[in-house]
């Protein structure tokens, strides 16, 4: 796709101005807006699409009224709606939810193969999106979601929170504190980050799939065709769906898909790499089945500036530090080679505050702390790792254009087709 | 070998070719454990040629009709492999093979599988070949996926052609594909679908495809469609129109893009109530025409939809500032506010005058937007403008403060401080908050004048800011303030700031300005500086403080002592204790003792002996009862004899006795177990402390402790001893009668065994109990006998421990016997399982009734199997062989009973993995217990191992049980069949079989649980136990039969328990074998196999070797492995495990070779001996767990690490490293051997 200089400059002009908009620090509503700036109704409304177990997490949020549920499985829909029949309506086809004009936000609690197309259709229908992790199943889908959110001016977040709230998983510290340490330059540069059992993370290899699934009759309460949606058709087996889908490449990517965004999103933030991606990815893993996700030992990702991100799935490096720079290391639990680190931390300036009130972001049309842009970048780490594991060869990536370099066939894993009528 | 490289290479090559395995064998290696292995296999398949690929393809079967997963692994791996850059030749071969297989396949799912592999490796040939498949309803989707992934002209041609003959079933898919591939030639066909199709889904696809392709003739049709259909339909059409505009940009037709976008925006009807679509249209418009879209955006900003206003404002950031400023003068407040915030995002300094003008607006929201926009300019003039603004409009102070906080230019701090020094204090309040929150980088120097301000609020805020952003450059000024300011608040604030800055920078550098100020300071100032120093933590600062404590100037010395007492680290303890001992000023002594005691208490890594020594010094120096009480409190946390006696010394002091008594109780009874050092003197101190202590928990604990070890007369204590052998280092024989059985305080370390040690009681006395305490580490055991004699010549044996293998413990072993007259007691030590030395910590001898406890008749488990192969776990007499809550269970009439209100967890000492367990049990009404299997000793067995319910579920209190809580159920996992329990009070018979992943429970003859627990990743081996809840139940006849040759998860059995399949005989050695021709080797192998069958046999599930013949070898070769082997030998037995065809992990009789088994005994350069002797006595089964990765070997023998990551040398050629792969061998060394449970896991 060649473009004229004029078009390119107009586009880059637009990109820069939007980027400046993102950098705008958050000014509270009472400073920015008068009464006319807010939506007419302060009371937002929302819907949950996908009523599996993760949707329970989405029930108690009170920034918006929950008025619709949707699931392709009648049993699950009924279970989730139990006791809420008065205030909410149930749907089997999410397109009916999107067609409702009175819904502001949709929560996507479906398996990941649905996230991309659903988020884009939701944006087209004027809905803001609260999306379960991982953001998308492929890098291509993620790029399209980013474009759609910008174009339709929607507010988007991923349902993980470790970059701005709670201890950063098993590391036992706040991501913010790690960011402070990195920002201070105490560790030096480049960094080497290890995400493994030793540094406080569990890669959940139990999410492996079973090869050789035998076809089974589809249960009457499940609309299997809609469950598959954009994914290639494969005969039904109970192990593919509900609660086990992570074990199959068509829908997710095992423990990487399950925990990846929780673990890696804060890492990108801590390293200050929210707009960047690695340039070289290498995996050590046993051969993968075409359908079922298997285990993996180690994924190494290198950034252009020499930083390294190691996913040590086999927990081989028993001495690994969470963060390691030429001048110091920080281990799990904030143990460090730098004396008195906790104390020193207190006197360091806090990083730029993050916008963490989703309802407020919806009302003021401003970006949430973890949005489609940085969320896509952290999900790209997962998707790159998946590609390297499946392909069995080292890949090189162009972080600007987000394409794999000199390996056109590998690009087929970046952009994967979908079953009609679904697309991104 | 080096001088014949060509020959060797050619032999190697020919072997490689000859050895290229057949396709089924290659498939069988799937999934390859790593990419290297996978690549080797791919190479072998591809070299063998298309027939090999066809053979693999032929293995694919329809799902549900067989397990073809290995073939699927291989084909999909190959598909990725050949798609690599530079793999074109291979790619073409595989593509052809897959296409052929696809054509030949009948089953839809099999065909789909081949199509899916072509997704990764197909090219134009596939795109063309799939043209017809695109019209097959069943496989259109799968084919479309492949064609879409291939892309390019061939793909476009196929899709366009297929679309011409599409059926209703395939149309949607093909339309979608045509869109995504941008098949412009298909536009007319697609338009026909829009015009004619009655199927809504197909029409939607066609409309979507038109937007994707972006052909000119589609424009009018798309815009017409905007007004049809429901809301969802409309938003799809709208999305397609927007995609159409976007596509025009990609096709470099910006004018068309702008025209269509404007048409979309001009539609004012219901449709445009969709703010998201409007935002998208604006977005495209800006992309298409750049700043020529400003007019459209300014129109949009007047929208009544706040979302449009926000979107337009975001896009307007790119518009010229002057234009925006001009627009911002009119319109509604919200529009003006939106425009001002867009200006702010431009960061354009020239906007300042215009924005300042907006500060005068009467509408608050406009003013606030202007404030926010000015803040974003982030410059000195901007800051000044804001500060000036609040001079005249105080209502906006908070908003300005918020704005200033976001600014971070160097000059802004200066501006704020200049403003603050000049303004009225009441207006400063908000500014001070701003000041306190300033973020680096700032200009901290500008804040120094404020820090010196007489105004309290000002200097506090300035110092708070300096504490955050200050550098070493401000330290001298702050030190000056903290030392010389007339205001105490200023001094304190400056001190805090100085300390925080100092802690941020390198500690010695931070100290320099303090030292400098100190050197030239007055006496008074020196004192003030000293006060701050403890916060610095620099070692030089400590030096300065110590120096101050010794000067003649009283105020300085006083400040020095105070500073030293506050020093945070251990180096201050010694100087403090010195001051405590020598100071002539009472206050200093008190300060020093208190400081030292606090510091000692805070040290976490200090050894107890050192700590108690320091506490004793503090006690001696402590001037007053108050300080002594502090020390006693510190001693109370330390479990040692020395601490007890240090505290006990104050039991007689009226002022301190209650604290001393509490300390004594805490020392004695504060540990998890009774202290090993408890002796007569200690006991007396504890008894004294109990008298002093008030009623309460510590008194109760101390009393219980004393009751557990009542005073008794150990007749051996301090008596003369003799031995048959010398001792090691200072561990003289007398130490075994010194009354101290602390493991570290030592005992008799006898220099070897067998040997004896004896004590002379002085006169002939009547005794009935000898208690032996040996060194203990949880694993080792000592085999010994105890004899007594009246004259030292005629001996009578009173205890026989010569066969025991029970590990020794801190509690020692009591040996009771019928009362006898004796003067001499002798311990004959036969063997120490860990090393040749003897470690007798203590030996006690008691007269009848004087022993510390009643000793049960000694009993050991009868380990003889019955006719069915079961051995008893319970001897019917006591709890020998059981561990855990042995006091919560009683033994009577051959029955174990769980004591009401007491019994908790009672486990077997041994661990079991696969077994048949039979036992009888009897319940009482409502009783609840559980049977743990494969459980660790601690933790929740229902989570780590398995808990089988033992429960009277007929009781009414269990009316609402979950299914998995009934008797026999595997708790939380598998419900049991109900209704087979005998009535309460009757004996039930239960059998539990744990065989691999299968667990069955049979109750009174009925199978109530038959479960596969494969998906629950629990422990595969562990203890068996009763999990009591203090309810009474009874159990008896507890018998077990272990099952063998069942591999743990992930392991493959090398020995099937039945015959010799998988094994072969030994032919020469690896180097000689490699030199043989294949025919020679085959002939030799045949002979070796015959020899093997003569001497190796399978008896009772074990491999038995008759001591003649050769080693037994695995049929396969192994590289990196984890290997489990159980083995048994006879006296003087010798064998070993060969890895990669090479010697060896040693096995031999530990009586004869006391280093024990498990070493790499043929090593020369690397370690060859095992770390410890972990062998069980000859005749018992031993277990090896071996791991070999690369050339490194790790061995566990009976769960003890004996070889830790040691290189195995190449015995056959010392110059080479060990072979990368080879057979595993069980070594012949000319004696009878047994092996079983031989499992391997390839890594």
pLDDT score for A15: 40
Candidate from A4, A14, A284 with C-beta closest to B287: A14
Both tokens assigned to A109:
């609690």
pLDDT confidence tier of residue B267, bands split at 50, 70 and 90? low
Distance from CA of B120 to the nearest CA of A (A): 7
Q: How far apart are the first and last CA of chain A?
A: 19
Which chain B residues are within 8 Å of A416, Cβ to Cβ?
Answer: 145, 149
Residue for token pair 């037995």: B1133
Q: Considering only alpha carbons, which residue of chain B is nearest residue A216?
A: B64
Q: Mean of the pLDDT values across residues B943-960?
A: 88
Is residue B572 within 8 Å of residue B562, measured between CB atoms?
no
Average pLDDT of span B966-985:
90
Q: Which of B252, B280, B308, B506 to mutate to test the interface with A (most CBs of A within 10 A)?
A: B280
**B119 interfaces chain A, CB cutoff of 8 Å:** yes
Nearest C-alpha in B relative to A282 = B35
Shortest Cα distance, chain A CAs vs residue B139, angstroms: 10
Q: Residue B273's pLDDT is what?
A: 60
Closest Cβ–Cβ partner in A17, A344, A348 for B318: A17
Residue of B61, B65, B74, B83 best to disrupt the A interface, most CBs of A under 10 A: B83
Model pLDDT, residue B914: 93
Using one digit for the tens of pLDDT, what is the confidence trace for B318-359?
Answer: 888 888 998 888 888 888 888 998 898 888 899 999 999 999
Least reliable range by pLDDT among B36-50, B516-530, B595-609, B668-682: B668-682
Q: What is the pTM of this model?
A: 0.59
pLDDT of B20 reads 58
Best residue of B264, B319, B365 to probe chain A, by most A CBs closer than 10 Å: B365
Q: Which of A1, A212, A343 sits opposite B503 (nearest CB)?
A: A343
How many whole angstroms separate alpha carbon B1202 and alpha carbon B1150?
14
Nearest CB among B204, B311, B399 relative to A421 is that of: B204
Q: What is the pLDDT of residue B1105?
A: 92
Candidates A98, A117, A232, A290: best to mutate against B (most CBs of B within 10 A) is A290
CA-nearest residue of chain B to A120? B239
More confident residue, A141 or B704: A141
- Closest partner residue to A347 (CB to CB) among B310, B318, B503 is B503
CA distances from A375 to A160, A309, B684 (A): 10, 17, 70
Considering only CB atoms, A347 lies closest to which of B116, B121, B504, namely B504
Q: What span, in angstroms and rounded, lies between the C-alpha atoms of B120 and B225?
A: 38
DSSP assignment string, B737-800:
GSS---TTT--EEESSSSEEEEEEEEEEEEEEEEEEEE---SS--EEEEEEEESSSSS-EEEEE
- Minimal Cα–Cα distance from B389 to chain A, Å? 15
Residue B736's pLDDT band, with cuts at 50, 70 and 90, is very high
Contact A156, A372 (CB under 8 A): yes
* C-beta atoms of A417 and B144 within 8 A: yes
The mean pLDDT value for B46-53 works out to 91
- Given B34, B310, B376, which is nearest A284 (Cβ)? B34
In this prediction the ipTM stands at 0.90
Percent of chain B with pLDDT over 70: 93
Query: Burial, B54: exposed, middle or buried (Cβ in 10 Å; 0-12, 13-18, 19+)?
Result: middle
* Cβ–Cβ below 8 Å for A421 and B205: yes
Least confident of B81-85, B175-179, B1012-1016: B1012-1016
pLDDT higher than threshold 60 for residue B608 = yes
pLDDT band for position B984 (cuts 50, 70, 90) = confident
Integer CA distances (angstroms), B572 to B578, B600, B618, in order: 10, 10, 13
- pLDDT given at position B1156: 86
Whether residue B53 contacts residue B27, with contact meaning beta carbons closer than 8 Å, is answered with no
A183: nearest CA partner in chain B: B440
pLDDT of B193 > 90? The answer is yes
CB contact under 8 A, A31 and B284: no
Residues of B (372-431) whose Cβ lies below 8 Å from A? 372, 375-376, 399, 402-403, 406
B312 to A19, A188, B296, B299, B320: CA distances (angstroms): 15, 42, 9, 9, 14
Measure in Å the smallest separation between the Cα of B231 and chain A Cα atoms.
6
Provide mean pLDDT across the span B27-38: 92
Question: pLDDT (tens digit, 9 = 90+) per residue, B405-425?
Answer: 777 656 676 777 677 666 655
**CA separation for the pair B218, B189 (Å, rounded):** 11
Is B172–A124 a contact, with Cβ atoms under 8 angstroms apart? Answer: no
Rounded average pLDDT over B793-813: 83
Work out the minimum CA distance from A344 to partner chain B, whole angstroms. 6
Residues of A in contact with B403 (CB under 8 A): 27, 31
Q: How far is A332 from chain B (nearest CA, A)?
A: 20
Nearest to B88, CA basis, from B151, B131, B134, B46: B46
Q: Across the interface, which of A153, A215, A407 has its CB nearest the CB of B276?
A: A153
Q: What is the largest CA-CA distance in chain B?
A: 125
Query: Which chain B residue shows the shortest CA-CA distance from A406?
Result: B85
Hey, is B163 helix, strand or coil? Answer: helix
Intervals of chain A under pLDDT 50: 1-41
| Least trusted range by pLDDT, from A142-156, A228-242, B78-92, B1072-1086 | B1072-1086
E strands along A72-135, which residues? Answer: 89-91, 105-108, 128-131
- Which pLDDT does position B431 carry in this prediction? 67
Q: Which residues of A touch B38 (CB under 8 A)?
A: 287, 392
Q: Which residues in chain B are closer than 8 Å to A420, comparing Cβ atoms?
A: 141, 144, 172-173, 175-177, 205
Mean pLDDT confidence for B292-303:
88
Say what percent of chain B tops pLDDT 90: 37
- Of A3, A124, A347, nearest to B276 by CB-CB distance is A124
Instruction: Give the B window 241-270 contacts with A, CB below 8 Å.
Output: 242, 249-250, 252, 254
| Of B441, B357, B354, B368, nearest in space to B403 by CA | B368
CB contact under 8 A, B364 and A34: yes
pLDDT confidence of residue B854: 37
Residue that wins the pLDDT comparison between A234 and B267: A234
Query: To the nearest whole number, what is the mean pLDDT of chain B?
Result: 86
SS3 B969: coil
DSSP state of A35: G
CA distance A33 to chain B (A): 5
Nearest Cα to Cα of residue B327 among B338, B268, B318: B338
pLDDT tens string B807-857: 887 777 888 777 788 899 999 999 998 888 899 999 988 876 555 543 333
Interface check for B741 against chain A (CB to CB < 8 A): the answer is no
Q: Is residue B120 within 8 angstroms of chain A, CB to CB?
A: yes
Joined tokens for residue B934: 């494969």
């Amino acid at each position: 796709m060649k473009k004229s200089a004029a078009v390119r400059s107009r586009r880059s002009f637009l990109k820069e101005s939007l980027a400046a908009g993102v950098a705008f620090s958050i000014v509270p509503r009472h400073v920015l807006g008068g009464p006319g700036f807010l939506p007419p109704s302060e009371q937002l409304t929302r819907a949950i699409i996908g009523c599996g177990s993760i949707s329970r997490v989405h029930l108690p949020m009170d920034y918006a009224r929950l008025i619709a549920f949707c699931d392709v499985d009648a049993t699950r829909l009924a279970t989730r709606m139990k006791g809420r029949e008065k205030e909410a309506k149930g749907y089997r086809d999410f397109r009916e939810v999107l067609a409702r004009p009175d819904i502001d936000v949709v929560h996507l609690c479906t398996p990941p193969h649905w996230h991309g197309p659903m988020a884009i259709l939701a944006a087209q229908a004027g809905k803001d999106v609260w999306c379960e992790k991982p953001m998308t199943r492929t890098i291509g889908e993620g790029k399209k979601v980013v474009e759609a959110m910008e174009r339709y001016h929607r507010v988007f977040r991923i349902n993980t929170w470790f970059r701005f709230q709670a201890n950063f998983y098993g590391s036992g510290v706040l991501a913010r504190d790690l960011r402070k340490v990195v920002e201070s330059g105490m560790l030096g540069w480049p960094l080497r980050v290890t995400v493994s059992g030793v540094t406080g993370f569990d890669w959940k290899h139990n999410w492996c799939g079973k090869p050789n699934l035998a076809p089974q009759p589809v249960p009457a309460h499940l609309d299997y065709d809609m469950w598959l949606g954009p994914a290639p058709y494969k005969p039904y087996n109970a192990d593919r769906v509900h609660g086990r889908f992570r074990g199959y490449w068509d829908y997710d990517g095992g423990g990487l898909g399950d925990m990846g965004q929780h673990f890696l999103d804060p890492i990108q933030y801590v390293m200050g790499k929210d707009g960047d991606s690695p340039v070289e990815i290498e995996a050590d893993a046993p051969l993968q089945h075409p359908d079922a996700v298997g285990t993996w030992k180690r994924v190494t990702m290198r950034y252009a500036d020499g930083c390294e991100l190691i996913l040590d799935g086999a927990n081989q490096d028993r001495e690994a530090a969470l963060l390691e720079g030429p001048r110091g290391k920080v281990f799990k639990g904030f143990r460090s080679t730098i004396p008195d680190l906790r104390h020193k931390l207190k006197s360091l300036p806090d990083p730029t505050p993050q916008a963490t009130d989703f309802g407020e972001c919806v009302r003021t049309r401003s970006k949430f702390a973890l949005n489609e842009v940085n969320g896509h970048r952290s999900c790209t780490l997962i998707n790159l790792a998946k590609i390297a594991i499946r392909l069995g060869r080292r890949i090189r990536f162009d972080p600007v254009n987000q394409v794999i370099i000199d390996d056109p066939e590998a690009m087929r894993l970046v952009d994967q087709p979908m079953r009609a009528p679904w697309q991104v | 070998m080096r001088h014949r490289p060509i020959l060797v290479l050619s032999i190697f090559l020919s072997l490689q070719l000859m050895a290229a395995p057949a396709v089924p064998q290659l498939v069988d290696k799937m999934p390859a454990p790593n990419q290297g292995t996978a690549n080797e296999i791919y190479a072998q398949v591809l070299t063998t040629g298309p027939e090999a690929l066809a053979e693999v393809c032929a293995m694919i079967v329809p799902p549900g009709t067989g397990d073809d997963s290995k073939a699927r692994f291989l084909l999909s791996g190959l598909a990725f492999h050949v798609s690599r850059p530079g793999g074109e030749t291979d790619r073409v071969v595989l593509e052809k093979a897959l296409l052929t297989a696809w054509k030949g396949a009948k089953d839809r799912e099999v065909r789909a599988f081949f199509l899916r592999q072509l997704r990764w490796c197909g090219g134009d040939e596939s795109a063309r070949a799939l043209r017809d498949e695109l019209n097959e309803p069943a496989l259109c989707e799968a084919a479309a996926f492949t064609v879409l992934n291939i892309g390019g002209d061939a793909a476009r041609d196929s899709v366009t052609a297929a679309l011409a003959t599409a059926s209703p079933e395939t149309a949607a898919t093909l339309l979608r594909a045509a869109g995504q591939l941008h098949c412009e030639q298909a536009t007319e066909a697609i338009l026909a679908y829009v015009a004619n199709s009655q199927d809504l889904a197909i029409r939607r696809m066609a409309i979507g495809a038109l937007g994707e392709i972006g052909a000119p003739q589609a424009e009018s049709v798309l815009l017409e469609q905007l007004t049809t259909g429901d809301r969802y339909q409309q938003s799809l059409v709208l999305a397609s129109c927007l995609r159409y505009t976007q596509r025009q940009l990609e096709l470099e037709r910006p004018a068309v893009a702008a025209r269509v976008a404007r048409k979309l925006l001009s539609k004012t009807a219901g449709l445009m109530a969709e703010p998201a679509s409007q935002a998208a249209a604006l977005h495209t418009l800006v992309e298409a025409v750049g700043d020529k879209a400003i007019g459209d955006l300014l129109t949009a900003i007047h929208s009544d939809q706040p979302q449009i206003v926000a979107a337009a404002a975001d896009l307007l950031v790119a518009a010229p500032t002057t234009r925006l400023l001009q627009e911002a003068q009119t319109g509604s407040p919200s529009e003006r506010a939106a425009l001002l915030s867009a200006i702010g995002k431009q960061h354009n300094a020239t906007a300042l005058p215009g924005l300042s003008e907006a500060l005068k607006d009467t509408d608050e929201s406009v003013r606030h937007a202007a404030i926010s926009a000015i803040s974003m300019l982030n410059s000195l003039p901007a800051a000044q403008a804001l500060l000036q603004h609040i001079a005249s409009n105080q209502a906006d102070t908070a908003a300005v403060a918020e704005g200033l906080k976001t600014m971070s230019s160097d000059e802004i701090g200066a501006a704020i401080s200049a403003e603050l020094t000049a303004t009225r204090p009441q207006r400063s309040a908000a500014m001070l908050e701003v000041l306190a929150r300033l973020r680096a980088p700032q200009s901290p120097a500008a804040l120094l004048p404020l820090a010196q301000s007489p105004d309290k609020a000002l200097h506090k805020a300035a110092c708070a800011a300096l504490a955050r952003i200050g550098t070493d450059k401000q330290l001298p000024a702050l030190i000056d303030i903290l030392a010389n300011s007339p205001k105490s608040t200023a001094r304190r604030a400056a001190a805090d700031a100085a300390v925080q800055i100092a802690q941020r920078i390198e500690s010695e550098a931070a100290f320099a300005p303090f030292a400098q100020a100190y050197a030239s300071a007055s006496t008074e100032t020196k004192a003030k500086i000293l006060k701050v120093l403890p916060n610095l933590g620099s070692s030089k600062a400590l030096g300065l403080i110590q120096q101050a404590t010794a000067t003649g100037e009283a105020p300085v010395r006083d400040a020095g002592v105070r500073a030293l007492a506050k020093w945070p680290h251990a180096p201050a303890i010694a100087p403090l204790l010195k001051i405590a001992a020598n100071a002539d000023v009472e206050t200093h002594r008190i300060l020093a003792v208190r400081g030292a005691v606090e510091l000692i208490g805070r040290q976490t890594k200090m050894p107890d002996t050192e700590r108690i020594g320091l506490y004793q010094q503090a006690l001696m120096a402590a001037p007053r009862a108050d300080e002594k009480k502090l020390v006693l409190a510190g001693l109370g946390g330390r479990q040692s004899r020395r601490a007890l006696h240090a505290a006990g010394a104050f039991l007689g002091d009226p002022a301190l006795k209650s604290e001393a008594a509490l300390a004594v109780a805490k020392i004695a009874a504060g540990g998890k177990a009774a202290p090993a050092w408890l002796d007569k003197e200690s006991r007396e101190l504890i008894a004294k402390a109990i008298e002093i202590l008030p009623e309460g928990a510590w008194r109760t604990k101390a009393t219980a402790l004393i009751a557990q070890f009542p005073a008794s007369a150990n007749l051996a204590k301090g008596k003369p001893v003799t031995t048959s052998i010398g001792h090691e280092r200072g561990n003289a024989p007398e130490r075994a009668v010194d009354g101290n059985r602390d493991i570290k305080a030592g005992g008799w370390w006898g220099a070897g065994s067998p040997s004896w040690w004896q004590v002379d009681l002085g006169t002939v006395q009547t005794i009935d109990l000898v208690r032996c305490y040996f060194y203990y580490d949880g694993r080792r055991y000592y085999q010994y006998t105890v004899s007594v004699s009246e004259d030292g010549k005629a001996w009578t044996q009173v205890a026989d421990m010569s066969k025991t293998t029970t590990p020794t413990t801190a509690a020692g072993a009591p040996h009771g016997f019928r009362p006898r007259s004796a003067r001499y007691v002798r311990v004959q030590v036969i063997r120490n399982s860990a090393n040749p030395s003897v470690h007798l910590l203590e030996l006690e001898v008691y007269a009848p009734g004087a022993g510390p406890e009643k000793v049960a008749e000694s009993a050991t488990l009868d380990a003889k199997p019955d006719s069915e192969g079961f051995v008893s776990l319970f001897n019917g007499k006591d709890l020998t062989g059981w561990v855990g809550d042995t006091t919560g269970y009683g033994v009577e009439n051959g029955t174990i009973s769980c004591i009401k209100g007491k019994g908790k967890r009672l486990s077997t000492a041994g661990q079991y993995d696969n077994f048949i367990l039979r036992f009888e049990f009897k319940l009482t009404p409502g009783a609840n217990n559980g049977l743990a299997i494969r459980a660790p000793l601690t933790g929740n067995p229902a989570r780590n191992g398995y808990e089988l319910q033992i429960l009277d579920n007929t009781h009414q209190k269990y009316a609402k049980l979950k299914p998995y809580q009934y008797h026999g159920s595997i708790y939380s996992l598998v419900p049991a069949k109900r209704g087979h329990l005998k009535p309460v009070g009757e004996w039930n018979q239960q059998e539990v079989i744990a065989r691999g992943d299968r667990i069955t429970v049979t109750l009174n003859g009925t199978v109530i649980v038959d479960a596969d627990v494969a998906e629950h990743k629990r422990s595969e081996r562990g203890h068996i136990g009763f999990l009591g809840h203090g309810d009474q139940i009874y159990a008896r006849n507890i018998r077990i039969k272990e099952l063998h040759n069942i591999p743990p998860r992930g392991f493959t059995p090398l020995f099937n328990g039945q015959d010799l399949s998988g094994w072969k005989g030994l032919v020469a050695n690896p180097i000689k074998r490699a030199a043989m021709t294949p025919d020679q080797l085959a002939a030799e192998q045949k002979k070796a196999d015959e020899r093997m069958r003569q001497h190796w046999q399978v008896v009772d599930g074990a491999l038995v070797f008759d001591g003649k013949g050769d080693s037994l070898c695995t049929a396969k070769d192994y590289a990196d492995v984890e290997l489990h082997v159980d083995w048994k030998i006879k006296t003087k037995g010798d064998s070993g495990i060969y890895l990669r065809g090479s010697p060896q992990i040693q096995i031999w009789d530990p009586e004869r070779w006391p280093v024990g088994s498990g070493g790499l005994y043929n090593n020369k350069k690397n370690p060859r001996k095992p770390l410890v002797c972990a062998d069980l006595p000859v005749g018992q089964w031993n277990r090896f767990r071996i791991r070999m990765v690369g050339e490194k070997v790790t061995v566990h023998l009976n769960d003890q690490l004996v070889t830790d990551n040691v290189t195995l040398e190449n015995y056959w050629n010392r110059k080479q490293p060990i072979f990368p792969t080879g057979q595993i061998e069980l070594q012949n060394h000319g004696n009878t051997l047994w092996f079983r449970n031989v499992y391997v896991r390839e890594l």
